[in-house]
Chains A and B, each alone.
Chain A
Amino acid sequence: MIDFAAMTEGLRLLFGSWSPWLVMVPGLAVGLIFGAVPGLTTSMAMVICLPLTLYMDFLSAIIFLTSIFTGGGFGCAIPAILVNIPGMPGAVATTFDGYPMAQRGEHNEALGLGLMASTFAEALSYVILLLLVVPIAAFVLKLSSPEMLIVGLWGLTLIAALRGRHYTRGLLAGILGLLLGTIGFSARGDIRGTMGIDYLLDGIPEIPAMMGLFCAAELFKLMRLDYVVERAEARRVSLRRILAGARDTFRYPRLLLRGSLIGAFIGAVPGVGSSVANLLAYSEARRTAPDKERFGKGDPRGVVAAEAANSSSEGGSMATLLALGIPGGGATAIMLGAFAMHNITGGPRFIAENKPIVYAIIFSNLVQSIALMGIGILFIYLAGAIVKTPVRVLVPSIFAVSIFGCYAITGNIAGPVTFLVFTLIGWQMQRYDYPVAATVVGLLLAHLVEGEALRTYQLSGGDPAYLLERPIALVLLALLVLSLVWPLIARRFGLGFGRQFAADTGD
C-alpha cells in the first residue's frame, strides 16, 4: 500500500522548496475567517482564492486550498460555541453543547476542545487516507442511493434527541424542517410550494434559513442580558484554560476516534458533506452515552464528537477526488478546477501517475493540523473578544454581518429576505418552546433523504426485493433499527442502558 520511494520523493517535493510552506499559514487564516463568519463558507473562500493559485506551482496550489479547507473545519465552530450560531452548516451540532458551555463561562475550554478535536480528526483522516485511499474509493463506489437513504434517515432520528421539553413539539419542528426542505424543484423536476416566487425554484436557501433560525432564537434571548457570559471574571480569554480544554479532549478517546471515523466515512460519500457527519457523530455520541440527559446542557463530549466529525470529513472527501478524479462536493470540485488550471488531469490514474504529489499533499495536511493548533489559538484570542463585547453592541453587529453573509451566499436579495423571514419564524418557535435545531436538521437533510428515496425507487423499479441485493444497505438498515429499538430491548431485559432510558423518558 505504501510506496516508500514515492514517499521519499513526496517529502523531497514538500521540503525541497519554500513555496508550499508560504501558502499554508495564509490558507489556514483565510479558512478560519471564512468558516467563522456566519454566511461565508469554505467553498466560497476557495472559489475566491482559486485565481491566486494560477501563480503557484501545482503542489502549492493544492496545499493552499486544503489549508483553507482545514481552517474552515475549525473556524465554523467558533461562532457556534460563542454565540450559538454555526459559522457553516457543518457546525450545527457543535452548538448543542458548545454554547451551553460558553454560557457557563467555559468558552475557553469549549474552544480548546473543539480545536483539539478538529486538529486530531483532521490529522487522523489524512492518515486513513494515506493508508486506505484506494480501498475507500472502491468502497464508496459500492454505496448507492439505498445506502445513502438509510444514512440520511439515521440523521433524521437525531430530531427525536433534539426534542427539547416537549416530545410532540420537537417532532413538529422536525417535520416543519422536512416540509420546508421540499420546496422548489424536486429531483424529478416537479415544482412544489414556491408560492409563485421564482427565487424559491432552487429551494429555500439553506444557509440563510439556518442562520435566521439560530440567530433569532439566540439573539432575542441575549437581549435580556448584558453579556453572553454573565460572570465578569469568566469572560477572560485564558491560554491556560484553552490548553486545559485541548488536553481534556483526550479524556474521551473513543468518542474522538468514533467521531473522526464517522466524519471520514461520511465525507467520502459524494454529495453528503460535513453537516451530516457533524449531526450523525453528535447523535451517536449521545445515543451511546450512559448518561445521555447531560447532552445538550454543555457536555464536553458533544463538542468533541461533533467537531471531530466535521473536520475529518475533509480527508474523506479527498479520497474520491484523488482516487477516482470525481469530486464529491463543492470544495473538492473547486480543487478539481485547480487541477485543470494546472493542466493536470484528475482521474483513476492520477494516484498511480503522481504518487509523490499525493504523498506530499497528505504530509502537508498532517503539518497543517499542527499549524492549525497554533493559529487556532491566536484566532481564539481574537474571537474571544466576542464574550467581552456588551450584548447591545454584539447583537446588531451579528445581525448586520449575517445579512451581508446571506447576500453573499445567494448573490441577490433572496438571501437577506430568507434570513429575515426565518428570524421571525425562529423567534416565534423559540417563544412557544419549539426546538429550532430540529427544524434545521430537517431542512438540511430533506433534500438528501428525498432525492435518495426517489433514486432508490427508480433504480429498483419499485421492487423492495432490490434491497436484498445490497448487503451494505441491509447491514446499515439493521444497525439503524437496532439503534432505535435497543433502549426498549435493554429496558425489557433490564440491561445497563435501559435504566438510563427509563430515567430519560421518565422526566
Chain B
Amino acid sequence: MPTRLFAWMLLLTTMAPGTSAAAQPYPAKPIRILASQPGAQVDFVARRIAPDLAERLGQPVVVDNRPGYIAVDIAAKAQPDGYTLAIYASSVWISVFLQKMPFDPVKDLAPITLATNAPLFLFTHPSLPVATVKDLIALAKARPGELNYGSSSTGTSNHLAGLLFKRMSGVDIVRIPYKGTGQAAMALVANQVQMIFGSAAAGMPQVKAGRLRVLGVGSSHRSLLAPEVPTISESGLPGYEAASLSCMWAPAGTPRAIITRLSREILRILNGTDTKEKFLRAGLETLATTPEQTAAYIKADMAKWEKIIKEKAIHSD
C-alpha cells in the first residue's frame, strides 16, 4: 500500500511537466539514468556517458544511484517517455531464474545498448601446479571435491562463471560464497580457495606481484586488457564463455523514435576513442550494440542460463 501511494505521488510530480513536454521535441527536460551503488562498475559507465549525452541532447543528464535491483525496478515502472533510463549488469536477466523479481527484465524494459564487458579472468593460487585450464581440469578430476572456488553472493557474474565452468568441464569443485569479491580475492591470495573468476582490476595487480596466476579469460576472444592471456576456451575448455556486461534500458513502451535517438547518441559516445581508452583503463571493454543486437543477445543469454540454472538447481548449490 505505501508503495502504491508513493508511486502515485511520483506519478503526480512527473505529470505536470510531462504534459507540456509531450508537445515539445524530445528531450525537453532533464534525463535521469538509474545506476546501482556509487563506485560500482555500472555507475562508472553511467557517469562516463552522462556528461557527453547531456551535451549531445542539450539537456542535463543526471545519474541517480539506488541500491541493487531497485535502480532497474524504478526504470521498469517509470513513464515510458525516455526521461528515465537504467544501466545495470547482466545479472538482471539471469536473476529471474534464481529469485522472484519485482519486474520482468524482458517485458518491462526496452534495451538500448550493451555498453561494456568486464572480462572475467580465471585466477588460481600459484601453489596449484597448473599452467593451463586443461591442467586445472585434470587436477580437479584427480582430486574431486578438494578444490574450492571463491565467489561473491549467489547469482553474481563470478558465481555463474564458476557454475558454467563446473558444468562444462564436469569437475567437482566446491563453491565458497563470500560477502563480496574483495573477500573472495583475499581468500584466494591466502590460498583458502584455489580459484576465482574475477575482473582484471581485482586480480591483475596480484598477478603482477606474483601472488596469483591467471589461466584464462572467459570471453569469446582474448581481452584487450591482457592480450597475452588465452581464452578459457583455447586453454582447455572449448566453447566456454562467461561475461559481466553492463546494459542500458528504457522502460518498455518507450516510443521507437526516442530509443533510436538515444541509441544513436550513446553509440557515438561509446565508440569515441577517448571513452574506449577510459573504459579500458578501468578494466572494461566497450561493446556498444544496437537495440536489436542487444535484445537478441539477452534472449540467447537467458536461454543459455535458464538451462544451466534449472539443471543445477543453483539456489541450493
A interface residues with partner B (beta carbon < 8 Å): 47-48, 50-51, 140-142, 144-145, 185, 187-191, 198, 201-202, 270-271, 320, 324-328, 333-334, 337, 340, 343, 345-350, 410-413, 417, 451, 454-455, 458-459, 461
Check A349 against B182 for contact (C-beta < 8 Å).
no
Of the A-B pairs whose beta carbons lie under 8 Å apart in the complex, a sample of 20, sorted by A's number, is A141-B190, A185-B153, A185-B154, A187-B177, A188-B317, A189-B98, A189-B155, A189-B316, A198-B101, A271-B180, A326-B185, A333-B39, A333-B180, A334-B38, A340-B282, A347-B208, A348-B205, A348-B206, A349-B209, A461-B145
Q: How close is A325's CB to chain B, nearest CB, in angstroms?
A: 5
Evaluate whether A349 and B208 lie within 8 angstroms (CB atoms) in the complex, with A47-B39, A271-B183, A340-B282 already known.
Answer: yes
- B315→A189 contact, CB < 8 A: yes
**Further pairs besides A141-B186, A271-B180, A320-B186: 4, Cβ < 8 Å:** A50-B39, A345-B205, A348-B206, A458-B176
Specify which chain B residues have a CB less than 8 angstroms from the CB of A320 in the assembled complex: 186
Q: A50-B39, A191-B99, A343-B281 are in contact. Are A202 and B68 (CB under 8 A)?
A: yes
Are A328 and B182 also in contact (CB < 8 A) when A47-B39, A187-B177, A189-B154 are? yes
On chain B, the number of residues with a Cβ less than 8 Å from chain A's Cβ atoms is 49
Contact (Cβ within 8 A) A347 B205: yes
Interface pair B315/A191, CB less than 8 Å apart = yes
Chain B positions within 8 Å of A327 at CB level: 182
Indicate whether A326 sits within 8 Å of B186 (C-beta atoms), given known contacts A185-B154, A189-B316, A451-B179.
yes
- The answer on a CB contact under 8 Å between B99 and A201 is yes
Contact assessment for A340 and B179 in the assembled complex, using a CB-CB cutoff below 8 Å: no
Closest to B146 in A: A461
B201 in contact (CB, < 8 A): yes
**Residue ID in chain A nearest B63 by CB atoms:** A51
Chain B residue, CB-CB nearest to A321: B182
Asked if B66 CB lies within 8 Å of chain A CBs, one says: yes
What distance in Å separates the Cβ of B126 from its nearest Cβ neighbour in chain A?
A: 13
B3 touches which of A141, A145, A190, A413 (Cβ 8 Å): A413
Shortest distance between the CB of B217 and any CB in chain A (Å): 19
Say whether A270 contacts B183, CB under 8 Å.
yes
Nearest CB of chain A from residue B204's CB, rounded to whole Å: 8
Q: Which chain A positions have C-beta within 8 A of B38?
A: 47-48, 50-51, 334, 337
Which among B70, B154, B178, B317 is the interface contact of A455 at CB below 8 angstroms?
B178
Task: For the complex formed, measure the closest distance between the CB of B60 and the CB atoms of chain A, giving whole angstroms.
Answer: 15
B25 at the interface (CB under 8 A from A): no
Least Cβ distance of B174 to chain A in Å? 6
Contact of A188 among B65, B145, B155, B316 (CB under 8 A): B316
Give chain A residues whose Cβ lies under 8 Å from the Cβ of B315.
Answer: 189-191
Closest to A327 in B: B182
Contact A455 B205 (CB under 8 A): no
Chain B residue at minimal CB-CB distance from A145: B192
Q: Which residues of A contact B68 (CB under 8 A)?
A: 202
CB-CB nearest in chain B for A328: B182
Give 1 or 0 for each of B146-183: 1 = CB within 8 Å of chain A CB.
00100001110000000000000000001111111011
Which residues of B have CB within 8 Å of A144? 187, 190, 192
Does residue B238 face the partner (Cβ distance < 8 Å to A)?
A: no
**Chain A nearest CB: distance from B201 CB in Å?**
7
Q: A202-B68, A334-B39, A337-B39 are in contact. Are A459 and B192 (CB under 8 A)?
A: yes
